[in-house]
Structure formats: structure tokens, C-alpha cells
Amino acid sequence: MRFPHSLGLLYSAFTYFCGFKVNSGEYKLMGLAPYGEPRYTEAIKEKLIDLREDGSFALNLEYFNFCQGLRMTSPAFADLFGGPPRQPEARITQREMDLATSIQVVTEEIVIRMAQTAKRLTGKDNLCLAGGVALNCVANGKLLRKGIFKDIWVQPASGDAGGALGAALFLQHQLLDLERRPEPSDSMQDAALGPSFTSEAIQEALDQWEVTYHSFESEADLLERAVESLRSNQVVGWFQDRMEFGPRALGNRSIIGNPSDPSMQVKMNTQIKFRESFRPFAPSVLLEDASKYFDIDRPSPYMLLVASVQESQHCSLNAEDESRMRDPDLTKRVSVARSSIPSVTHVDFSARIQTVDGNRSSRYAKLLRTWKQRTGKSVLINTSFNVRGEPIVHTPSDAIRCFLATDMDCLVIGDFILYKHEQNPGRGEALRKELLARSELD
């Protein structure tokens, strides 16, 4: 497929039209899709695209403006879908929910047709995916369940950022002609390709910020204290080991919480991340226990597969819950506990899963093992350590600033723990105002 006939640009056009930021708000559109109905799928296929059986298609450029203008869509697009684009921060209406559902359905159909064509042309058993659309973990999960290929593997930094990895491999193996030695297991090794920081560097940053902190010589004691905070339904910042490569936090630069607390999703979205309350959170689960909680039979180390929560984990809904599930106000729908792990269960009983191999030596794997020992459960909420509009924290100073400026209760950073109630509240309030101003919410 050649520009401008791009599946990613088609999806981004709907991202823009629904009031989200192109090249970052596509996750929001995917998360919004389960709340709607596919009312516009036929209009998309009849007016916007000429879709062929092999998955190829052509866009009807009458409806788009990204080739020649500064907007993704044209006035004809707005006429087709009942009015102008939603303004950012305006209330999300049923139209936006239905548009999100419709383009998600069409995207999945195109991806599956393309995969069927790839299978027919190659006869191969395994499929590798890259590019921005490969971050659509809902489509990935449906593609896997379709059974066209025995397995799929998705590059964890799919999209523009992954080009850096491709450039390095191109230089290494094609220009320098150095031997490739593929490993039988996952050579990305949790995608922990970024920097790490010594205990001395972290303590220096803590002292520069003049915060109150506790130091631990014993890793076991540090993990026990972290689990104690999580069991108290506190929100914990987690800064450990090497930084992840790619857009998904994988347990090294994460904000974590107890998924059994039904209020945790709204709390983390609105008070920590400063973002829309409907946005779902991903569960981290020990690989050995993944099938107990989710309908998945293989590793998903990079949060790139969506699967259903097992029916054995579902909660029955009373009349009040059923009424709230029909309410147009998304915050009321989100507050309904739908499973034993409500804060990582989306409205359609799905979850974007990160499996963690408990045999790995990472501190996050050790935390999950300790959590399981103390609670009997193997699942934690895992979201990226940042607020809306900012990148994932990079340095210890970034982590401390984000912790102080938000309603995070605890920060576990290297061999140190900070508690919010021990810090200067006035300083946190000043940082919060500064952060809000930068996070597009001023």
C-alpha cells in the first residue's frame, strides 16, 4: 500500500474527528470503541474506502484533507457523519462512541484480510507485525484468535520510533554484513533497552529535591513495603532497572495499583494521569497464572494483545448496575465493577494484557511474586509513569517531580521509598499547577 492510501491515516482521521490528538490519541479511540455501536461501518466502506478482497483499498480523497491541508478531514467528512468534528475536551457523545466502534470494526476487517493474503502468498506459520497500526492490540488479539497463523509477534515499539531499531539492524547486518544469531526465545528481553541509574545517582537526586525518603539495603524488605502500600489501595510510582523501549510501560517506569479496588481506574485516570476517566488500564499478570484470569494461551510481554477476562472472574450485576451501564455518562459506566479485577476489566470484559515471566530476574517480576504470596492474586494495574501530555519519566528527577505533583501515594525508586504524607504539601501544589499547565489542561 502506498501513500496516501494508508490504514493508519484512515484511523487517525477518525481520531482527529472524534476530538483526540493525531499520533497519540489513537489509543483513546481504541479504548472508546467498546462503548458504541458500529452504526457507521457501511458508510465508511461505501463512501470513504474502496476495499478489495485481498485487504488492499483506496481512500476516497474527497473526504480527507491531510494531503493538501492542515486537517485530517474535509467538510464532506463532516457532512457524512452529522456535523463538525468534536472539539478537544468537549463532552464525548454517542456519535463519537459509535464512530470509534465503526472504524475499529473496519480496521479489524482490513487487517484480517491482509493477513489472509499474506498467508496465501507465503504459506508461513508465523506473522511479524510492525508499524503504527500494529499497536492496535484489539485488532491483534482478534487476528490471533482467527487462527490464520499459528502465532504472531508484534514489534514492541511499532510505529515511527521502531525505525531507530530497524536502522540499527540494517547497519549491523546488511551494511556491515555481520552474522545474525536469532535466539529461539524472545530476544527483545522485555524491551529494556533504555538507561538505568545507580543507587548513588538516585540518592543524589533525592537529596537535591530535599524530600523525605527511606533507604532499604534488603530487596525483600523493599518489596514487602511496596506490597503493603498496594494492599492499602495506594497508588505507587515504580522506577526500577533499565527503561523500556516503546510506548508501553512494562514494569520499569510504571504507575501501579490494586486491580481489585473498583475505584482505582477513575482515581488513577483523573487524579494521577489527568486524563479521561473511561481510559482502560492494562493488567500485569504472572505468566503462569494468565489463563486463570484471561482467555489467553501464550505470552504477551509487550501489552500488544487484548483478550477477554475469564467468565469465572465476572461479577453479576444488580438492577442499579445495569442502569448505570446504560447511562450516557461514561464515568458512571466505568464505576460498575464487572469482575474480580474491575479496574483492569474494560466495559466489554476485555483487557490489554502484559504477561510477566516470574522466572525473570527483574524487580517487577519479583514484586508480582511477592504480591501473589501476600494476596493470592497475580495481577496488578500497570500504566506508564507520566501524566497526560508528557513522556514517560526518564531520570530519577523526572520521577520525583511527577510523584510530588500528582496524588500518587508512594514512590518506589531504586532502593528507596517515598511517601506522599511525609512530603511538603505546598511544594507539591506548586508543581501540580506547573504540570497541569504543560499537560494541555490549563
In a structure prediction context, what are the per-residue pLDDT tens digits for the chain, which is 442 residues long? 899 999 999 999 999 999 999 988 898 999 999 999 999 999 999 999 999 999 999 999 999 999 887 889 999 999 999 999 999 888 899 999 999 999 999 999 999 999 999 999 999 999 999 999 999 999 999 999 999 999 999 999 988 888 888 899 899 999 999 998 877 777 787 789 899 999 999 999 999 999 999 999 999 999 999 999 999 999 999 999 999 998 889 999 999 999 998 888 778 877 777 766 667 789 999 999 999 999 999 999 999 999 999 999 987 777 776 776 777 776 667 767 778 898 898 888 899 999 999 888 799 999 999 999 999 999 999 999 998 878 899 999 999 999 999 999 999 999 999 999 999 887 777 777 777 776 554 3
Predicted confidence at residue 441, as pLDDT, reads: 46
| Number of residues assigned to the chain | 442
Predicted confidence at residue 277, as pLDDT, reads: 62
The C-alpha cell that represents 420 in the structure block: 506522599
Q: Helix, strand, coil: what percent of the chain each, to 5? A: 45, 15, 40
In a 3-state reduction of DSSP, which class is residue 12?
helix
Separation between Cα atoms, residue 14 and residue 6, nearest integer Å: 13
The C-alpha cell that represents 384 in the structure block: 506508564
Nearest to 226 by CA among 192, 249, 197, 257: 257
- Please enumerate in sequence order all residues whose Cβ is within 8 A of that of 15, keeping only pairs 6 or more positions apart, or say none: 21, 22, 25, 26, 28, 29, 72
- Please enumerate in sequence order all residues whose Cβ is within 8 A of that of 174, keeping only pairs 6 or more positions apart, or say none: none
Separation between Cα atoms, residue 355 and residue 227, nearest integer Å: 19
Separation between Cα atoms, residue 152 and residue 127, nearest integer Å: 5
Predicted confidence at residue 331, as pLDDT, reads: 65
Nearest to 400 by CA among 198, 200, 208: 208
Predicted confidence at residue 428, as pLDDT, reads: 73
In a 3-state reduction of DSSP, which class is residue 126?
strand
User: According to DSSP H, which parts of 33-129 are helical?
Assistant: 41-43, 75-80, 94-122
Is residue 222 classed exposed, middle or buried when 0-12, 13-18 and 19+ CB atoms within 10 A define those classes?
buried
Q: What are the strands of the beta sheet with 410-413, ordered from one edge?
A: 214-215, 416-419, 410-413, 236-239, 253-257, 379-384, 282-286, 350-356, 305-308
Separation between Cα atoms, residue 277 and residue 117, nearest integer Å: 39
| Contact of 228 with 418, CB cutoff 8 Å | no
In a 3-state reduction of DSSP, which class is residue 236?
strand
Domain ranges (residues) in the chain: 7-124, 199-438
Q: In terms of CATH architecture, what is 199-438?
A: Alpha-Beta Complex (3.90)
Cell 478531514 belongs to: 73
